[in-house]
Amino acid sequence: MPQGEIYSDKRKHSRIEKKLKVTYKIMKDSDVGIEAVEKSKKHVESSDISICGIQLLCDEHFKPEEVLRLDIYVEGEEKPLATFAEIKWVRKDEKIGKFRTGLEFLVLKEDHIDAIKRLGKSL
């Protein structure tokens, strides 16, 4: 009798499929101060989010292990969720002509976690 493989999603937390406005900045050693970060932010949209990470739809091809500073704009929140995330994977989606980019949050405040959890309840 042949043995089949069982696929198991490794995620600890479920993803919430949600399009959110996100701004990002690639962090480099030469970046100093808020002003440098603000001037060089780029705008993208998310595909999904969880309390562990986010998937972005980007024109830019990133390298795994690059670190981005993110501002995630969540409806109902006064300020964007500001955090840092590491790129884990990048795949070209030919259907939409963009790169799907998976990021893992490096730090996430408790109130940010609560805001993300509320997104899942609002669907």
Both tokens of 102, joined, read: 């998976």
The pLDDT of residue 82 is 96
The alpha carbon torsion through 8, 13, 14, 19 (nearest 10 deg) reads -130
At 94 the pLDDT is 97
Highest mean pLDDT out of 3-7, 34-38, 118-122: 118-122
Query: What is the distance between the alpha carbons of residues 21 and 56, in angstroms, rounded to a whole number?
Result: 10
pTM of the model: 0.81
Find the range with the poorest average confidence among 5-14, 16-25, 41-50, 114-123: 5-14
Q: Of all residues in the chain, what percent carry a pLDDT higher than 90?
A: 69
Higher pLDDT, 39 or 67: 67
Ordered domains of the chain (ranges, CATH): 16-121 (2.40.10.220)
Please identify which residue in the block is written with the tokens 């292990």.
Answer: 65
Reduced to 3 states (helix: H, G, I; strand: E, B; else coil), residue 20 is coil
pLDDT in tens, 108-123: 999 999 999 999 887 6
Q: What is the pLDDT of residues 83-107, one digit of tens each?
A: 999 999 999 999 999 999 999 999 9
Name the least confident of 10-14, 30-34, 63-67: 30-34
**Backbone phi, then psi, for 73, in 5-degree steps?**
-95, 110
